[in-house]
Structure 1
Amino acid sequence: MPQAMPGYFFTPKHIVLVGASERADSLGEQILTSLLGSPFDGTITPVNLRHRFVAGIRAYTSPAHIPEGADLVIAVTPPDSYEALFKACRKKQLHHIILIQDWPTLPEEAWRTARQLIKKYHGEELSISVCNPAGFQLPTQGLNAGIQDDYPAGHVAFLSGDDAVSHEVTQMLRRMKQGLSRHISLNFALTPVSAADWLNRFGHNRHTRVAVIHYNTLENPRKLFSAVRYFARHTPVILYCTHAADKTEKAVLNCLARHNNFLPVFTPEHLESTLHAYLAELKPVQQLTALANTPAAWLQPTAEKYAVRLQLPTRKPRLNQGNLGTYATASAYRSAAVEQLQKPDCQALLAVIAADSEHHETAVSRVLKNLARTSDKPLLISSRFSDGLLHFSHPEQALQALSLANTVAQLQQEQQQTAPPAADNLKTPDPQAVRQAIESSSPSKLVQALHLPKCQNQCRHEAVRLTAFVHPHYGWTVSAVYQGKTAAVLPPFSSLDAQFLAQTADIVEFSQEINQFLHSLSALTETADDFGNISLCFGNGQTVSNIHFKNKAAAKLKTAQRPTAAEIFRSFNINSATEFIRQTSESAAELLSHKPAAPPKPVGIQNVRAPYPADSGNWQTTDGKTVFIRPFRPEDAAAKQQFIRKLPPESRQTRFMAAINELPPATLARFSRLDYHAEGAYIAENSDGIAAVSRFSRLTRDECEFGITVAEKMRSSGLSAEMMRRIILLATQQGYKSMSAEILKSNTAMLKLAEKSGFTLTPSAEDKQLYQAKLRLLPDETADRHNFPQKNLHKNHKLS
């Protein structure tokens, strides 16, 4: 649900604790003790049915009886009290509620009661989150609302779904002498405010350098990964997966990581090493030098496992393959370390201190720790008595941290990549032929309709197999199995995915076949439900297809009905309508244009990545010329760059507010690799190439900003208004409440277009040369629901 209610959650000044108690070992007593024991300087008001004072603080029998308002209500009472609580909070206009219970100890009936009442009351007036006893903490503000000990303040934001995981991660941070900026432990099974919603609430925080998100497999994955993608634009994200993920799911998550710029980790050791890499800001290291006071040659295969070149220096008689000898003194160890760090080919140094006498081990650790402070090269220390960001309990963890630093750097490079233009010789399948082949369960007809190689039951000396199938959680997936490894790509596919599969599986010579396979699958995933799977096998210089159908009943396309967007809007439940549109991307055209309801669409598979909008087609300009308008795709990056280069300098200046000749690579990559769940772009083409581009991207969960660029020849053709109309409609479908932009006062054409499209123009308070343009897309939640007729929305959008 969009967070539009008053009172920003992370700056609470007044907290109400419902169920506050002095009774020993009660949850109300533990939470109250944590609140009162932390240096929180806000107001805490207890609610208790029996006592006028709790812990010496004036208490009330209900939140509705508290004289002043509050920013947050924390309730530790049982579920059978929730209905009265929610009614009282609604009456008092206390919008934010966090329910904390020791849920595993409650019977199933209590869970059912909680689920029913939360579903009934969460929405327009109440935002309800459900937490485990670990609750939530804002250590940087001295606030602890949970049963665990105060967390030290630090630079990690942590969203967990389990108290044990919360404890595990905080222990890791303590070993590194690090702390948290914010933490919440949600009950994933009950909370209506999901991990994605809370990630949106986290926002950009100056205290946070990295966020750890405990993966919630129960929530909508498209919504979650879209939220991760946006958050990762300003803060690195680690996705901590504690469930049993198989090879295929790990490959899928790594694919999502490439698209959404996060790092998935699957074990506690993996997580701890990743935190070391991020918090220590380790730079990429290709070669590592190692010293030890014990034989160290055994580290070589471990380094190879992590793709790190390990150098073990030898200098007779005292240094042999990195081994200084068991009795090397602290000063001798330091001398050898200084010598290695001064060598030009030394990028980083790993010092392994063997477990011998505690005094000797501690002395060496202390000396090297002080040396690390003065070194301009990373000095990693492995010892039982080392602590800090570059100190590790065993050398393998240090190697893993370096490997992860290299992975992070590679991930950042991948964000700069743009897709090569689509191949000219790709054949597009006929949807009707594909449908008929599936319904007849004919492998030969299907490969023919998809323009794939002939079918064969098996491929001789198969080396690589690409298989398209429906994953139960992520939707359509293409997995690549090669050399005992698995990789994956997800629709909507691009030429960048084909390039990745060819290079990763080392089948570059089959690039044409891979491109055609993904191109054909793009049509297939838009047409078919889960009919089975289709494979492309490579081996011994040949390529063959293999198809496995499920039973005929499963092969048929599903036609289950669902309510239309208009029906939900007409129920006057604005939040439900917004969320429905955001998750289904159903067109709101019926509502906006007064047209009768269209027949129900088939309910297909929701892929984890949002598809392209299905509104491509020819459009006529006011002077009778025809352009083709379609959603922007990754393969359009090079054409867009050429389009920008051809613009007159003054057009580039007004559009980008800078004197540029072309888009920087990072900007071009970001503009061309879109998430159509939360942003969008359209491209208009004619015989000259690109005629116009319009786009919008997220500012907050409720507001997006737009940009439009039109070729000089297409000015005054009506194309700008059409490109604006499309992004307004798509942004509305995605659930944004408003659209805005900063426009130069000298850009009179854009100012006129904005006004004509219904935007309100106001002078910028920050820059006298700018106007702030803003358009309301959806009504405010606080508005009277009965004052939301179709004509008002239609008027605001100027779509007629």
Structure 2
Amino acid sequence: MVSSNLDSIFNPKSIALVGASDEEGSVGYILMKNLTEMGYNGIVYPVNIHKPEILGKKAYPGIPQLPQTVDLAIIATPAATVPDIVEQCGIAGIRGLIIISAGFKEVGKFGKLLEEKIIEIKKKYGMRIIGPNCLGIIHPDIGLNATFISKKQKTGSIAFISQSGALGSAILDLAAHENINFSNFVSVGSMIDVNFGDLIDYFGTDPKTRSILMYIEGITDARKFMSAARHFSRTKPIIVVKSGRSIESAKAAASHTGAITGEDMVYDAAFKRAGIVRVKDIADLFNCAEAIGKQPLPKGPNLAIITNAGGPGVMASDSIVSLGGKLAQLSSETIEKLNSVLPSHWSKGNPIDLLGDANALRYVAAAEACFSDENVDCVLIIYTPQGSSDPSEIAVEILDLYKNKKFSKPYFTSFMGYEDVEKANRILTDNGVPTYSTPEQAVSTYMYMYQYKRNLELLYETPVELPVESTPPKQPLASIIRNAAKENRKILTETESKRFLEYYNIPIVKTRVAKTVDEAITYALQTGYPVALKILSPQISHKTDVGGVRLDINSEPELRSAYEEIMKSVKEHNPDAQIQGITVQKMVRKKGIEIILGAKTDSLFGPVVMFGRGGIDVEIYKDVAIGLLPLNQTLARRMLEETKVYRLLKGYRNLPPANINLLEEIVVRFSQMLVDFPQLKEFEINPLLINENDAFALDARGVIDKELLRAKPHEHLVISPYPEKYRSLWKLRDGRTVILRPIKPEDEPLWIEMFRNFSQESIHFRLFQTVIGPVAHEYSARYCNIDYDRELAIVAEIEDEGKRKMLGVVRLNIDPAENAGELSFIVADPWQGQGLGSKMVDYMIEICRDKQLEKISAVMLSDNYRAIKLFQEMGFTIESLDDGTQRAVLDLKEEIS
């Protein structure tokens, strides 16, 4: 069932149109015509203060005069009148509003004040609002057209959400021409209330919506957006066009990371992390939606190309390689098959050139060989009109082959031309085969599909559990931040920055601070030559730029000379800089690769981590990848793999492979440091030297945000981190101690082992079905890799005979729209009878109170007597449902109030 939270807007049984008009061409006139002439069967009440009748319907002077409380009010009146109308709607009990009117924050200060007043009224009455300054909505399934677009839409399976009304109108027109239909269309406007996250939640649970398309200019609530997208992208493709790729990053960045990681890169990282497919333009949006909805996802990047013309085959080959895919290497068996059915002078490889006189038989033979080849993940069939071959016959024969053989690989077609191939293209389109006017369009769509598949795989890949200390002492580091703030500086010194790394077990080169040249000589003798000298000043972030670094100093005379040169150069470049001294550190003679590991705080998505090629040329190469916090081993590896320097790290020519496992640990520790300290606005390790054995942070720089000294834990993150606070100890009845803690992705092996200890009866009571055979990764990952904002699972873990074992799980699924949760629990059969089930449920109820949920429930089979008794003892009310199950309900609202 779709959440009822927005049903008053998308499934209204009655509507009031405030600003209805009978003046042809006006917005109120077009809205009224669309509401009454497009097939909507609900009641429509026109509201107009001046006229008793609009288009044959009785009109009412205002909301208070309506004969009933309607589900939805559509407001199309001047902006200044809107707050009073919204207040009237609230008093009348109307819960859904669409504000078409413009003239709010987009026009200046007065409009912004109007918006703020509307938001205040909305909160007072608990209403939901789409807009203002929007086009409206269309729900074809119920004939609802609440827009001023006078075009009837057919029912489809795609929800389309647009931040631009004008663009939305154009896209609806284009989609109608391309025979693409929607389950819903929404123009979100200024999003003072209902936003992208709300709509993903709503359409994610709509059984008639199979995919979600979005045109985005900017996101308002990033945390809600990420939570909703991560939750539903695994079951429904979410495809996005995001405008504004060329927006520059912040001008005044105190680190390389801040300068390189622009807004668009952060959006890219966020979309990947959420499993969203980002496409470049509107044509790709629909191509991708159509293909993902009708074709199986490819298992890999290897494309086979079948063509009757060499040129288009080369074009497709260039396109697949440039987009990061691969030309499939045909197996020897496939080559033999093709040799036996094709002319002797066929291309003998991929692309498979069938020659200009190719008929349907040749196409079918080549397609069957490719579909059967394990090296081929997808097939592109290109046809150009030439010779006497019939394109329609080719289309029909390929369709029959695919259906009869029941192949499970995606395939695309590009029947090039217009009139000659029109019938063939219609045959293909009507049977759900994506077909394109050019091979490049087909290849681009295939790679988007592969990207979507790869995103989901990596998103739910089980990470290795790393030996990362998650709770180092934080007070000493908090003290460093407070002291810097008291001194009215935002840049941490190198020694202060390295102190952070040291606490998080990120290897550093020991650094000493010398106030005088004699102190520097003493430290150099203690450290041992050769040494490096660097200026230490809060006002100098890039030391090399001011001549503040000297390397490979091998003696006292060299050191004295270097010291004087640094001081002289720094004073010339920055005479006002406060010089705190010179740092002395041992030169690292070990060979290795220099990388950069940095972080910056994005204004929307919060802290992001950057990894890439390091050293002084980092801004020239810009070989970097970024990721959103928090990171685990899988996500860290994914960041590494996105860079070119990763090829060096794996070993290249005479360069041995670097210790990538250690590097992953460092990235995860770095991520945890940023999770723990929201005050770190920017942080950078550059360079971090890594070789086959060791890693060393040679230089570090931190930048703090003094405004966040009293920030609450984790409010700076858009993805909820592991909730460590819900870890607890408890004793079984036999006296053994168990750990109660939240589940995490790394727990998948333990979860699978526990599942093997479930009897079929236990599985039946928990899942309402029988499960036979091994558990697939896609299934188990779903239970271990969760979004802690909307789902929580507490596991009971024990060490038994030297092994960690999972004994049971209690799970909470949160409905963010209703502020309610649903409980379920299971205890592995060998551990039943120890009081564990009662303890886990009791513990989860306490967590529900901590999260301030208003209601929790659980659904059970009617013969699950032990569970029913347990919930009764916990104070739940038990009720019977129509399907024969029992529901236990506990109202926590009174406790909260």
TM-score (structure 2 length as normaliser): 0.72
Paired amino acid for 1:87? E
Whether the 8 Å contact between 2:78 and 2:102 is mirrored in structure 1 is no
Whether the 8 Å contact between 2:196 and 2:219 is mirrored in structure 1 is no
Aligned to 1:129: 130
Among 525, 533, 536, which residue is 2:675 paired with? 525
Name whichever of 109-118 and 222-231 sits farther off.
Answer: 109-118
Cα displacement string for residues 60-103 of structure 1 (whole angstroms, at most 9, x for unaligned residues)? 11122121332211110112222331233233322211110245
Change (3 A) 1:709 1:17: same
In the alignment, does 2:625 pair up with 1:607? no
In the alignment, does 2:684 pair up with 1:537? no
Superposed, which structure 2 residues align to 1:288-303 within 5 Å?
288-293=304-309, 295-296=311-312, 297-303=314-320
Distance 1:510 1:311 in 2: 30
In the alignment, does 2:892 pair up with 1:777? yes
Distance 2:755 2:77 in 1: 60
Superposed, which structure 2 residues align to 1:586-597 within 5 Å?
none
> 1:137 deviation in Å?
0.6
Paired amino acid for 1:490? L
Superposed, which structure 2 residues align to 1:251-266 within 5 Å?
252-253=266-267, 256-257=270-271, 259-266=273-280
Cα displacement string for residues 604-661 of structure 1 (whole angstroms, at most 9, x for unaligned residues)? 6521101233424543448665443332222222222223334566544544444557
Distance 1:59 1:427 in 2: 65
Distance 1:363 1:56 in 2: 60
Instruction: Give the match's secondary structure for 2:369.
Output: coil
Aligned to 1:574: none
Superposed, which structure 2 residues align to 1:567-646 within 5 Å?
602=712, 606-621=716-731, 626-646=737-757
Distance 1:251 1:51 in 2: 54
Instruction: Give the match's secondary structure for 2:131.
Output: strand
> 1:521 deviation in Å?
3.3
In the alignment, does 2:292 pair up with 1:278? yes
- What is the number of residues matched between the two proteins? 726
Aligned to 1:666: 778
Change (3 A) 1:112 1:659: closer
In the alignment, does 2:303 pair up with 1:287? yes
Distance 2:282 2:595 in 1: 32
In the alignment, does 2:874 pair up with 1:757? yes
Cα displacement string for residues 735-792 of structure 1 (whole angstroms, at most 9, x for unaligned residues)? 644322222445444333322322211234313xx422222233xxxxxxxxx5xxx4
In the alignment, does 2:855 pair up with 1:738? yes
Whether the 8 Å contact between 1:428 and 1:520 is mirrored in structure 2 is no
Paired amino acid for 2:306? A
Change (3 A) 1:208 1:488: same
Among 639, 642, 665, which residue is 1:515 paired with? 665
Aligned to 1:680: 792
Distance 2:6 2:369 in 1: 59
Distance 1:146 1:115 in 2: 21
Name whichever of 12-21 and 472-481 sits farther off.
Answer: 472-481
Change (3 A) 1:29 1:113: farther
Aligned to 1:430: 473
Whether the 8 Å contact between 1:273 and 1:400 is mirrored in structure 2 is no
Change (3 A) 1:168 1:64: same
Aligned to 1:348: 379
Superposed, which structure 2 residues align to 1:294-373 within 5 Å?
295-296=311-312, 297-306=314-323, 307-309=325-327, 315=343, 334=360, 336-344=362-370, 345=373, 348-353=379-384, 369-371=395-397, 373=399
Distance 2:94 2:607 in 1: 43
Instruction: Give the match's secondary structure for 1:9.
Output: helix
Change (3 A) 1:181 1:384: farther
Whether the 8 Å contact between 1:160 and 1:166 is mirrored in structure 2 is yes
Aligned to 1:406: 450
Aligned to 1:704: 821
Cα displacement string for residues 95-133 of structure 1 (whole angstroms, at most 9, x for unaligned residues)? 211110245998435623430331121133432221545
Paired amino acid for 2:226? F
Change (3 A) 1:379 1:677: closer
Change (3 A) 1:649 1:435: same
Larger CA Rg, structure 1 vs 2 = 2
> 1:157 deviation in Å?
0.5
Change (3 A) 1:254 1:662: farther
5+ long unaligned stretches in structure 1: 355-359, 561-600, 779-787, 795-800
Whether the 8 Å contact between 2:99 and 2:131 is mirrored in structure 1 is yes
Change (3 A) 1:733 1:54: farther
Change (3 A) 1:675 1:436: same
Cα displacement string for residues 403-460 of structure 1 (whole angstroms, at most 9, x for unaligned residues)? 222223334434553223x235868633234334555631332222221122599997
Cα displacement string for residues 343-365 of structure 1 (whole angstroms, at most 9, x for unaligned residues)? 355852422537xxxxx899976
Whether the 8 Å contact between 2:306 and 2:354 is mirrored in structure 1 is no
TM-score (structure 1 length as normaliser): 0.80
Distance 1:258 1:185 in 2: 24
Distance 2:48 2:896 in 1: 46
Percent identity for Structure 1 against Structure 2: 19
Distance 1:249 1:268 in 2: 21
Paired amino acid for 2:869? K
> 1:54 deviation in Å?
1.0
Aligned to 1:449: 503
Change (3 A) 1:361 1:182: farther
Change (3 A) 1:342 1:17: same
In the alignment, does 2:186 pair up with 1:160? no
Instruction: Give the match's secondary structure for 1:694.
Output: strand
Paired amino acid for 2:211? V
> 1:288 deviation in Å?
2.1
Distance 1:362 1:57 in 2: 62
Aligned to 2:553: none
Could you say what the CA RMSD is over the residues aligned between the two structures, in angstroms? 3.8
> 1:673 deviation in Å?
0.7
Whether the 8 Å contact between 2:104 and 2:112 is mirrored in structure 1 is no
Distance 1:122 1:491 in 2: 33
Name whichever of 104-113 and 127-136 sits farther off.
Answer: 104-113
> 1:316 deviation in Å?
6.5
> 1:550 deviation in Å?
5.0
